[in-house]
């Protein structure tokens, strides 16, 4: 692929990622409401528990999914089908063995597991059968989950995103059918598993069309290949563990020090930051396989150019969203949670965690995702582990000292800020051959200057004396729309170059001509 093709692919993949996110968030809210109203409390709780267990299944990936993405991107450059057969066969059959062990242990331990979940006696046997069905479905899905990673390694992120959208839409339709027709809980679980398995099979079919010489067979399993791939996957897995520890330790810390009742208001404040994080990490996710491709091609200049442009556009996309969320944090908390009057502590937690996610956009996500794929996985691992350890230590200490869940928020912000600007920013600048100030001036400063009018309009609307700013849904949406439009206009006028103005205007004109009969 040429650099121009890579740029177009990154753009299309990013737009596709945002489309997938919109569909998942929109249908997710509707699906949640349908199930909450259509299932009994015990059914809904058991359903949530099953998929929470599946969510923690990422820890059983052992980093091989990320490794598969990297190795496919590298081997596609050389079209080394024999080596790719060994890599994918080794990972696939390792997953098969791991899945078989998990299923067997789960089935054998289904009785004590059901007792642990405290299911009512009249539903105990039914839910035990559902648990076994769920484990069998997950056992089938676990090895097949490698194929969406293969699609990403092939630079076909749009196809992977389309399959994710297909899975989300199909799952919504199945939930609606079960609730509307009054079908059994078991049918709901089976249909949801099928909505996950079928897109995986389609992904496998699509992946093999670009790898004509690849065969996933037991005879291609290689221990030496597992060890070779495992060196990278070990670092990737340690990095994933540190991220999970950094991101998921908040609730246990809060509940163990100041009580479980404080988890709910903390979640209410942090929900805005979580959604901001989901929206703004799309570009960084797209750049991972691109970085592996450029690194395997030996195109160091292209890798550096892609990093600086990727970081610039990531900041360009995230900054106006950050200003909007920070300006209307109280209204957003009311909208998302239904809390009429968010406490100041709740709003401060939201602001701190929103700033934490914005800091990750500036200093962490693009650099770490790209250079993890470009030979820096060992240093990335140690940096991630050290930051996660400091995060947990500070969160424990500050929560105990302040006797407030704000201690957890500060415990997240401080290490990210210190490691981001103190270590990662200088490291990134050295990698691309720039000084810290030169990298900042090229990637961040133009956006910050461009959003100054947006900040002024937001401050003006929030402090004007004529109405209670953001006090209801209409005012929240109307004021947010005004601030957002000013931000978009400012970014277009001041953050983009003249050449980008011309190029995007020509692309828009060409698309309009193609869409006109």
Q: Compute CA distances 156 → 160, 212, 253, 266, whole Å.
A: 7, 16, 40, 38
Q: What is the pLDDT of residues 362-376, one digit of tens each?
A: 998 888 878 777 767
One domain for residues 181 and 265: no
In a domain, 245, yes or no: no
One domain for residues 426 and 500: yes
- Kindly tell me if the per-residue pLDDT of 449 is higher than 90: yes
Domains held by the chain: number = 2
Residue 486: its pLDDT value, please? Answer: 93
One domain for residues 203 and 303: no
Structure tokens at 476: 């929240």
- Kindly tell me if the per-residue pLDDT of 485 is higher than 90: yes
Running DSSP on this structure, what letter comes out for residue 421?
I
Structure tokens at 185: 């809980």
In a domain, 235, yes or no: no
Give the integer Cα–Cα distance in Å for 464 and 250.
37
Q: What is the pLDDT of residues 289-344, one digit of tens each?
A: 777 777 777 778 888 888 888 899 889 989 999 999 999 998 888 877 777 788 88
Lowest mean pLDDT among 47-51, 60-64, 220-224, 269-273: 60-64
Place of tokens 């960084």: 284
In a domain, 514, yes or no: no
* Better-scored residue on pLDDT, 204 or 37: 204
pLDDT > 70 fraction of the chain, expressed in percent and rounded: 84
How confident is the model over 30-50, as a mean pLDDT?
A: 72
Asked if 333 contacts 268 with a C-beta cutoff of 8 angstroms, the reply is yes
In a domain, 247, yes or no: no
Residue 184: its pLDDT value, please? Answer: 81
Residue 122: its pLDDT value, please? Answer: 79
Lowest mean pLDDT among 2-11, 396-405, 442-451, 462-471: 2-11
One domain for residues 333 and 466: yes
Closest by CA to 68, choosing from 299, 368, 373, is 373
One domain for residues 295 and 402: yes
How confident is the model over 346-356, as a mean pLDDT?
A: 91
**3-state class of 216 per DSSP?**
coil
One domain for residues 202 and 278: no
Lowest mean pLDDT among 17-26, 61-70, 97-106, 391-400: 61-70
Lowest mean pLDDT among 113-122, 267-276, 385-394: 113-122
Give the integer Cα–Cα distance in Å for 227 and 24.
37
In a domain, 376, yes or no: yes
One domain for residues 212 and 316: no
In a domain, 147, yes or no: yes
Q: What is the pLDDT of residues 54-79, one digit of tens each?
A: 655 555 666 677 677 777 877 777 78
Which domain, by its residues, includes 46? Answer: 1-229
Going 140 to 145 to 151 to 156, the CA torsion angle's sign is positive
Of 187, 207, 229, the residue that ends a domain is 229
**Helices 300-327, 3-38: crossing angle, 10 deg rounding:** 40
One domain for residues 197 and 269: no
- Kindly tell me if the per-residue pLDDT of 425 is higher than 90: yes
Asked if 323 contacts 487 with a C-beta cutoff of 8 angstroms, the reply is yes
In a domain, 244, yes or no: no
In a domain, 246, yes or no: no
One domain for residues 368 and 472: yes
Give the integer Cα–Cα distance in Å for 314 and 498.
19
Residue 508: its pLDDT value, please? Answer: 67
One domain for residues 294 and 421: yes
One domain for residues 203 and 263: no
How confident is the model over 169-196, as a mean pLDDT?
A: 86
Residue 303: its pLDDT value, please? Answer: 80
Residue 332: its pLDDT value, please? Answer: 86
One domain for residues 300 and 449: yes
How confident is the model over 224-230, as a mean pLDDT?
A: 70
């Amino acid at each position: 692929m040429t650099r121009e093709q890579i740029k177009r692919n990154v753009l299309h993949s990013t737009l596709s990622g945002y489309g997938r996110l919109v569909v998942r968030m929109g249908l997710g809210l509707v699906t949640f409401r349908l199930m909450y109203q259509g299932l009994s409390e015990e059914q809904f709780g058991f359903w949530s528990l099953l998929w929470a267990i599946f969510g923690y299944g990422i820890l059983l990936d052992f980093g091989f999914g990320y490794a598969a993405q990297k190795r496919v991107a590298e081997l596609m450059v050389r079209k080394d089908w024999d080596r790719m057969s060994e890599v994918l066969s080794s990972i696939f059959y390792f997953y098969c063995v791991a899945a078989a062990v998990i299923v067997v242990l789960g089935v054998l331990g289904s009785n004590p597991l059901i007792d642990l979940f405290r299911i009512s006696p009249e539903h105990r046997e039914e839910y035990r059968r559902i648990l076994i069905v769920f484990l069998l479905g997950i056992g089938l899905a676990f090895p097949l989950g490698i194929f969406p990673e293969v699609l990403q390694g092939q630079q076909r992120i749009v196809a992977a995103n389309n399959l994710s959208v297909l899975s989300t839409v199909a799952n919504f339709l199945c939930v609606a059918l079960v609730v509307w027709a009054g079908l059994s809980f078991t049918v709901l679980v089976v249909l949801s598993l099928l909505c996950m398995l079928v897109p995986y099979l389609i992904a496998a079919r699509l992946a093999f069309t670009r790898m004509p010489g690849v065969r996933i067979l037991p005879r291609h399993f290689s221990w030496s290949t597992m060890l070779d791939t495992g060196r990278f996957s070990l670092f990737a897995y340690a990095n994933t563990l540190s991220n999970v520890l950094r991101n998921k330790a908040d609730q246990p810390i809060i509940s163990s020090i100041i009580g479980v009742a404080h988890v709910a208001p903390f979640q209410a404040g942090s929900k805005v930051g979580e959604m901001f994080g989901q929206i703004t990490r799309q570009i960084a996710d797209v750049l991972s396989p691109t970085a592996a491709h450029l690194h395997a091609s030996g195109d160091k200049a292209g890798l550096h150019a892609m990093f600086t442009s990727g970081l610039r556009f990531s900041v360009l996309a995230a900054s106006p969203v950050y200003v909007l969320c920070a300006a209307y944090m109280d209204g957003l908390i009311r909208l998302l949670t239904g809390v009429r009057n968010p406490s100041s502590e709740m709003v401060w937690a939201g602001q701190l965690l929103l700033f934490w996610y914005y800091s990750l956009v500036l200093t962490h996500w693009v650099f770490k995702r790209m250079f993890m794929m470009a030979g820096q996985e060992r240093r990335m691992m140690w940096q991630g582990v050290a930051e996660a350890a400091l995060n947990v230590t500070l969160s424990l200490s500050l929560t105990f000292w302040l006797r407030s869940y704000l201690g957890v928020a500060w415990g997240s912000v401080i290490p990210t800020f210190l490691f981001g600007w103190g270590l990662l920013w200088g490291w990134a600048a050295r990698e691309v051959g720039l000084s810290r100030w030169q990298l900042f001036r090229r990637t961040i400063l133009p956006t910050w200057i461009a959003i100054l009018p947006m900040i002024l309009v937001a401050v003006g609307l929030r402090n004007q004396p004529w109405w209670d700013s953001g006090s209801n849904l209409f005012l929240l949406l109307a004021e947010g729309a005004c601030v957002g439009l000013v931000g978009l206009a400012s970014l277009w006028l001041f953050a983009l170059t003249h050449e980008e103005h011309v190029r995007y205007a020509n692309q828009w004109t060409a698309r309009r001509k193609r869409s006109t009969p």
